[in-house]
């Protein structure tokens, strides 16, 4: 068996630079998929992805070109999914770096390049959208050479849209991406880069064979998960699943069998054969070890999810169960709240992950939900010496019972054009960051390193970073542990009554500002009622901010003069739709937006 004719690669790009279009074109040119079968963008097959234009789940496709097998492994494109990107890159030897010739290098381009370099990939730059009148190939080549240090003397000028340069790209993959290492004669080992749930076949696992060989029917062991499973079928992805008898070192494929839970086959885990694994426990055999880089995804934040209609609780529970089948990073447990009723406390990787889950539940499972503001997990030592982990303000022990409070910190690296260093540092300062280092990758690009509370990062830090640096920055962060921090619970009172789902935890120095901001945001989000509504923020018994919403007549159609009945109907319909996302707090109707108001404070 020789791996000489295999090329495993992925495409990395900033959002909208044309990754999916190029992938389609590669499959089309290699006749993997006929133009007729091609619903546009075959690789992004979740509806939501198409609509939002983001790639969340990884997919793979095998095509043939001039006697070579090219395996394209797709990667998700957002910071929330860095770990998945890194694992999918680990299954490749090369990456096409697609840069929009009218835009140049942007946020995700750099982050992905660094991940590719970490994985020792051969990076092939491609200048896309060369057909656009606004394309500036010279300037963008300058950025790629200067900013990343890639040689662009032979860069392919391409247009994924009009099909320019596609053959050159395929040729470069064959010539420049190294073949996978030859098999060592050792035991079967494969790296999982994705998995998903199929209602008929159970969990389908995507993997790259690193060494050895697997044949259909083999019993496999997932080393980190420590579980064994039978395989029913193995095969390759074209991108349809095509069964094969064997898969050998260097190949990319799928398997399924008796696996029912994604937690058994997590991204990054190593697969081996049960028999080989058992043999490896004998003294004369070399022990089979898991491949490096495996990490279990840990939720970075938690939020409460409650059905607007209490009758939907069962439906929500079942739907979460179904979503979790496809998403090992989704964790949840039941939660109940006096104001919101029965729901779930859910762990997320980041804000985008939260939005995606919420949207899928609402859209695919037809649920109307109230989502509370996300929170990190705080550590509280009580006066009795107990340690309590708190992921919701409502569960924070009362002030007099808290002896010590700590919060999770991250080490965050921001990559930015140096002209924005000042802007980034301003933001870092506002978010309680401790500046650790500034490194210059080139004269014009820097990496700014901070240690910062995770709570400051998970809200809108990334959005702020992007808007303050015109989209030219990217970031990555890692948890580094807990640090003592004076925290307070900020409560909200509506007409004098506590509204626990609106409470939030913040640093004592920020309490005043957050309190005022929260009250102002609530004033904006809570619609006028038939009576005056007072909104207050308090720490314990002390009111720190207050505002009121004046009363209004409820009949919204009253302001429609004349007899325009269609307009009247429209308004009533709009009001009814808005109603769906309301919860009563005391006698005040509170809309969904108010529950996450704390995210909207500047």
- Residues flagged as binding site: 13-20, 74-78, 128-131
Separation between Cα atoms, residue 311 and residue 289, nearest integer Å: 49
- Piece of 15-23, 436-444, 555-563, 571-579 that binds ligand GTP (CB under 6 A): 15-23
Per CB under 6 A, the segment of 154-162, 268-276, 347-355, 489-497 that binds ligand GTP is 154-162
| Binding status of residue 76 toward ligand GTP by CB under 6 A | no
- Provide the Cα torsion 464, 140, 413, 452; round to 10°: -10
Work out whether 17 is an interface residue with ligand GTP (CB under 6 A).
Answer: yes
Is 299 a residue that touches ligand GTP (CB under 6 A)?
no
440 by Cβ neighbours in 10 Å (0-12 / 13-18 / 19+) ranks as: exposed
Extract the annotated binding site for GTP: 13-20, 74-78, 128-131
Burial 229-242 (b: 16+ CB within 10 A, else e): bebeebbbbebebe
331, 305 Cβ separation under 8 angstroms: no
**Nearest residue (CB) to ligand GTP, 20 versus 241:** 20
> Counting contacts by CB under 6 A, is residue 82 touching ligand GTP?
no
C-alpha 188/C-alpha 422 separation (Å) is 51
Which is nearer to ligand GTP, 141 or 255 (by Cβ)? Answer: 141
Site membership for ligand GTP, residue 167 (CB under 6 A): no
Round to whole Å and give the CA distance between 381 and 401: 9
Of 53 and 338, CB closest to ligand GTP: 53
Residue 332 structure tokens: 């949840």
**Pairing mode of beta strands 60-65, 68-73:** antiparallel
Query: Which tokens hold the place of 311?
Result: 């009758």
Rounded to a whole number of angstroms, the minimum distance from the CB of residue 26 to ligand GTP is: 12
Tell whether residue 229 is a contact of ligand GTP (CB under 6 A): no
Does 21 interact with ligand GTP (rule: CB under 6 A)?
Answer: yes
Q: Is the dihedral of CA 592, 349, 13, 451 positive or negative?
A: positive
Between vectors from CA 415 to CA 600 and to CA 298, what angle results, nearest 5°? 60
Name which of 128 and 391 has its Cβ closer to ligand GTP.
Answer: 128
Based on the shown chain and the rule CB under 6 A, indicate whether residue 54 belongs to the binding site for ligand GTP: yes
- Cα(251)–Cα(67) distance, integer angstroms: 15
Using CB under 6 A, pick the residue from 3, 8, 10, 20 that binds ligand GTP. Answer: 20
Decide: is 57 part of the binding site for ligand GTP (CB under 6 A): no
Q: Which of 131, 296, 368, 524 is in the footprint of ligand GTP by CB under 6 A?
A: 131
User: Considering only 49-57, 146-154, 222-230, 517-525, which stretch makes contact with ligand GTP by CB under 6 A?
Assistant: 49-57
Q: Are 354 and 303 in contact (CB under 8 A)?
A: yes
Element (H, E) at 100: strand 94-100
Q: Which of 48, 132, 571, 599 binds ligand GTP (CB under 6 A)?
A: 132
Question: Least CB distance from residue 82 to ligand GTP, whole Å?
Answer: 15
Is residue 546 exposed (0-12), middle (13-18) or buried (19+ Cβ within 10 Å)?
A: middle
C-alpha count within 13 angstroms, C-beta hemisphere, residue 96: 37
Contacting residue, 5, 68, 157, 161, with ligand GTP by CB under 6 A: 161
With CB under 6 A as the contact rule, the residue among 3, 42, 77, 276 that binds ligand GTP is: 77
Residue 131 CB, nearest approach to ligand GTP (Å): 5
Residues that bind ligand GTP (CB under 6 A): 13, 15-21, 53-55, 77, 128-129, 131-132, 159-161
């Amino acid at each position: 068996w020789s791996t000489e004719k295999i090329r495993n690669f992925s495409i990395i790009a900033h959002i909208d630079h044309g990754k999916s279009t190029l992938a389609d074109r590669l499959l089309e040119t290699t006749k993997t998929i006929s133009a007729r079968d091609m619903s546009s963008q075959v690789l992004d097959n979740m509806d939501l992805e198409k609509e939002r234009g983001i790639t969340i789940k990884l997919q793979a496709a095998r095509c043939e070109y001039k006697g070579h097998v090219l395996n394209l492994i797709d990667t998700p494109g957002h910071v929330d999914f860095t770990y998945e990107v890194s694992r999918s890159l680990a299954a490749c030897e090369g990456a096409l770096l697609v840069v929009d010739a009218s835009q140049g290098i942007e946020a995700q381009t750099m982050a992905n390049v660094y991940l590719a370099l970490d994985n020792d990939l051969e990076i092939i730059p491609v200048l896309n959208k060369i057909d656009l009148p606004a394309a500036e190939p010279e300037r963008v080549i300058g950025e790629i050479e200067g900013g990343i240090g890639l040689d662009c003397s032979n860069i392919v000028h391409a247009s994924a849209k009009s099909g320019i340069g596609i053959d050159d790209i395929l040729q470069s993959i064959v010539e420049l991406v190294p073949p996978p290492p030859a098999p060592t004669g050792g035991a079967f080992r494969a790296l999982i880069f994705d998995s998903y749930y199929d209602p008929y076949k159970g969990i389908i696992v995507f993997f790259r064979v690193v060494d050895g060989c697997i044949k259909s029917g083999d019993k496999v062991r997932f080393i980190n998960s420590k579980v064994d499973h039978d395989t029913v079928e193995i095969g390759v992805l074209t991108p349809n699943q095509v069964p094969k008898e064997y898969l050998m070192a260097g190949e990319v494929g799928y398997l399924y069998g008796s696996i029912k839970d994604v937690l058994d086959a997590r991204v990054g885990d190593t697969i081996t054969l049960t028999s080989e694994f058992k043999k490896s426990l004998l003294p004369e055999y070399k022990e089979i070890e898991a491949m490096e880089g495996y990490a279990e995804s840990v939720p970075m934040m938690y939020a409460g999810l409650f059905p607007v209609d209490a009758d939907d609780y069962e439906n929500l529970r079942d739907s979460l169960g179904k979503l979790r089948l496809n998403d090992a990073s989704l964790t949840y447990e039941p939660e109940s709240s006096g104001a919101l009723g029965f729901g779930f406390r859910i762990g997320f990787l980041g804000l985008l992950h939260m939005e995606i889950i919420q949207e899928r539940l609402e859209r695919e499972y037809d649920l109307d939900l109230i989502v509370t503001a996300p929170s990190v997990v705080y550590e509280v030592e009580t006066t009795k010496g107990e340690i309590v982990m708190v992921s919701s303000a409502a569960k924070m022990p009362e002030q007099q019972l808290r002896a010590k409070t700590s919060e999770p910190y991250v080490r965050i690296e921001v990559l930015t054009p140096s002209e924005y260093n000042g802007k980034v540092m301003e933001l870092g300062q506002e978010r309680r960051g401790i500046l650790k280092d500034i490194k210059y990758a080139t004269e014009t690009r820097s990496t700014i390193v901070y240690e910062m509370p995770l709570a400051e990062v998970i809200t809108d830090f990334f959005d702020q970073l992007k808007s303050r640096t015109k989209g030219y920055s990217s970031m990555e962060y890692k948890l580094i542990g807990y640090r003592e921090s004076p925290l307070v619970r900020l409560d909200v009172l509506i007409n004098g009554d506590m509204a626990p789902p609106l409470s939030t935890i913040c640093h004592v120095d920020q309490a005043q500002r957050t309190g005022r901001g929260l009250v102002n945001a609530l004033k904006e989000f809570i619609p006028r009622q038939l009576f005056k509504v007072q909104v207050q923020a308090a720490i314990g018994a002390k009111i720190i901010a207050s505002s009121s919403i004046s009363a209004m007549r409820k009949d919204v159609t009253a302001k429609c003069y004349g007899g325009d009945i269609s307009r009247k109907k429209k308004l009533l319909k709009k009001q009814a739709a808005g109603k769906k996302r309301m919860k009563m707090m005391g006698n005040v109707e509170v809309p969904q937006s108010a529950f996450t108001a704390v995210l909207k404070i500047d």
